[in-house]
Amino acid sequence: MSDKAKVLIVDDEEIVRLNIERILEAENYIAKTAQNGAEAIQMAKRDEFDLVLTDLIMEDIDGLRVLEEVKRDWPETVVIIITGYGSLSSAVRAMQRGAFDYIIKPCEKEELIMRVRNGIEKRTMEKKLLEINKMEAILSNIGLFILDDKGVITSANSDISKKLWGDIPIVGKKLLKLPGVANTGLVDCLKQPLSGEEGNYRENIKFYSQKDSSELILSCHLRPVSFKNGKPKSIMLVIEDLTKRTKVMQQIGQAEKLAALGKLAAGVAHEINNPLNIISLDVEFLKSQIDAHSPLMENLQSIAEEVDRIAHIVKQLRDHAKREDSAKEKISINDVLNSHIFSIAFSQLIKKGIQVEFDLEERLPPVLIPRTKITQVLMNIIKNAEDAMPNGGTLNIYSRRIAKKKDMELTGDVKTGSGNLKDLVEIVIEDKGIGIKKEDIKYLFEPFFTTKGFDGTGLGLFISYSIIKSYNGMINVSSEVGQGTTFSIILPVAYHNQESEVAATEKR
């Protein structure tokens, strides 16, 4: 399979098609063209494209129809709409129907390349999330037990069994007779394989550790692995401890709710301020046009007071939305990725058939961002990659030091270091999943935008983007429907002369 992304260009103006084709081929894309909507639909039925770039207004079949037909055959294909100012509302409708982005023509070459690149990067990233690594994480967090046809444990993983039952010997004992098991879902879950029914049986249960009485969240998976005379001879039980991962995801969810509240407050403040100003000016005008002793003056004064009260409430909302924890922490990205919480996350991926491969640059310089913040960002992106590969796949994670390029629009005061051009750390998370439609990439970091239907909140990537931006970094996304998605997180290196800045921040 070629590494080049395939782009279909649809426009009934030949000069436009050829110009875009020339630009994209120079960017190392495989560019195909269709002279009308009908031809584009036929081409899309025969072949899958990573991105479709279609004009909105065409004589035979318009861009909305092309969008619908492409999405019907290839739901993961990214579609970007090309439109004029006069048909902007139609472009918005296209976004609502699944378009990833729209471009208003005439469009600058740089903008076209950027929009297409964003679409391709998003698709690429959602296609790579499946390689097995971190075997130590599996062994410490996933237990393998073999039971006979009576439910007696014949072999067990010592690490997980100690976590559940402490020093109690369990081999040779019936699983359902062990302390703490009787009141869990394991009882019902074990009935099917013991009765001879083939298939996989999975149950998430709460279990109270017999070692320290702590509450654990366990994922239990049972499956008959050998049979005799049509009945199970042995049963495999895989137990995974999801406790820490569940708690972290709950914390992230809470952080997302708080951030959403701030975003909502900011939006409300912005939308209300303008009409408030108009009302206030109109009230003052009316007061100047009537007699001071008019009975209407009291009504106008009452309106003015209420406007002031609303303005005060809006100011409070705006101030609340601006409140941000700016504390910085000098951390190693590699240490974060090698931490226990990520071992848990990666073991969950492995369980779902997702192989995780690492390429972490040694002696990577530190960056300035709280460990909790970067953990939240990475967990959000890894969770999206997991969701993008329901049938398994490969997840590649890279960390490396890179040079700052001229076109990198980092936020804030990014120091470059004394004569050293390699002043940035990049973390790349690349999956081989279902990919993201090109029309979705533009809105990927918008609040409440989600491609997961009712299963998504639309907040995870918005929060991640806000965090990275607030610490002078950037996030890039590329994706190809059916091939995967790549997220690139870039943060400035923390230099020695910034240590005093960290210390001063921590004292606030």
- Give the position of tokens 């005799």: 228
Whether the bond into 492 is cis, omega within 30 of 0? no
Assign 495 to helix, strand or coil: coil
Section 144-158 average pLDDT: 85
H/E/C letters for each residue in 57-70? CCCCCCHHHHHHHH
Flag whether pLDDT at 241 surpasses 60. yes
* Chain segment 3-51, per-residue pLDDT in tens: 788 999 999 889 989 999 999 999 999 999 999 999 999 999 888 899 9
Q: What contacts 407, CB < 8 A, 6 or more positions away?
A: none
pLDDT at 351: 81
Q: Which amino acid is at 427?
A: I
Q: Per DSSP, which regions of 85-156 are E strands?
A: 101-104, 142-148, 153-156
Higher pLDDT: 363 or 314? It is: 363
pLDDT at 202: 75
CB of 351 closer than 8 Å to CB of 142: yes
Flag whether pLDDT at 108 surpasses 70. yes
Classify residue 461 by burial, with Cβ atoms within 10 Å: 0-12, 13-18, 19+: buried
Flag whether pLDDT at 295 surpasses 50. yes
Higher pLDDT: 390 or 270? It is: 390
pLDDT at 130: 33
Higher pLDDT: 379 or 417? It is: 379
Locate 328 and state its tokens: 């910085």
pLDDT at 2: 57
Closest by alpha carbon to 130, among 342, 433, 359, 436? 433
- Give the position of tokens 């046809």: 149
pLDDT at 454: 47
Section 330-336 average pLDDT: 91
| Confidence bin at 191 (pLDDT 50/70/90) | confident
Assign 326 to helix, strand or coil: coil
Flag whether pLDDT at 83 surpasses 70. yes
> Using CA atoms, how far apart are residues 101 and 451, in angstroms rounded to an integer?
14
Closest by alpha carbon to 70, among 10, 140, 128, 148? 10
CB of 155 closer than 8 Å to CB of 460: no
* Chain segment 457-484, per-residue pLDDT in tens: 556 787 788 788 878 888 999 998 988 9
Residue 398 φ then ψ, to 5°: -120, 150
pLDDT at 276: 83
pLDDT at 451: 65
pLDDT at 315: 65
> Using CA atoms, how far apart are residues 21 and 30, in angstroms rounded to an integer?
9
Flag whether pLDDT at 495 surpasses 90. no
Phi-psi region of 95 (alpha: psi -120 to 50; beta: other; left: phi over 0): alpha
Task: Look up residue 273 and give its DSSP letter.
Answer: H
Section 116-124 average pLDDT: 83
The pTM is what?
A: 0.40
CB of 119 closer than 8 Å to CB of 95: no
Alpha-carbon distances of 37 from 13, 15, 66, 120, rounded to whole Å: 12, 16, 6, 22
* Chain segment 480-493, per-residue pLDDT in tens: 898 899 999 999 98
pLDDT at 320: 46
Task: Look up residue 176 and give its DSSP letter.
Answer: G
- Out of 84-88, 163-167, 250-254, 436-440, least confident range: 250-254
Q: What contacts 309, CB < 8 A, 6 or more positions away?
A: none
Higher pLDDT: 195 or 269? It is: 195
pLDDT at 233: 80
Section 204-224 average pLDDT: 83
Flag whether pLDDT at 227 surpasses 90. no
* DSSP secondary structure, 132-170, as one string: ---HHHHHHHEEEEEEETTSBEEEE-HHHHHHHHTT---
State the Rg of the chain over Cα: 28
pLDDT at 502: 42
> What domains can be seen in the chain, in order of their start residue?
6-107 (3.40.50.2300), 135-241 (3.30.450.20), 245-322 (1.10.287), 330-506 (3.30.565.10)
* Chain segment 395-416, per-residue pLDDT in tens: 999 999 987 765 454 443 333 3
Mean of pLDDT over the chain:
78
How distant is the alpha carbon of residue 357 from its chain centre? Answer: 19
Closest by alpha carbon to 284, among 308, 258, 260, 315? 308
> Using CA atoms, how far apart are residues 224 and 196, in angstroms rounded to an integer?
8
Flag whether pLDDT at 258 surpasses 70. no
> Using CA atoms, how far apart are residues 183 and 143, in angstroms rounded to an integer?
20
CB of 221 closer than 8 Å to CB of 145: no
Edge-to-edge strands, sheet with 153-156: 153-156, 142-148, 231-241, 215-228, 201-208
Element (H, E) at 476: strand 474-480
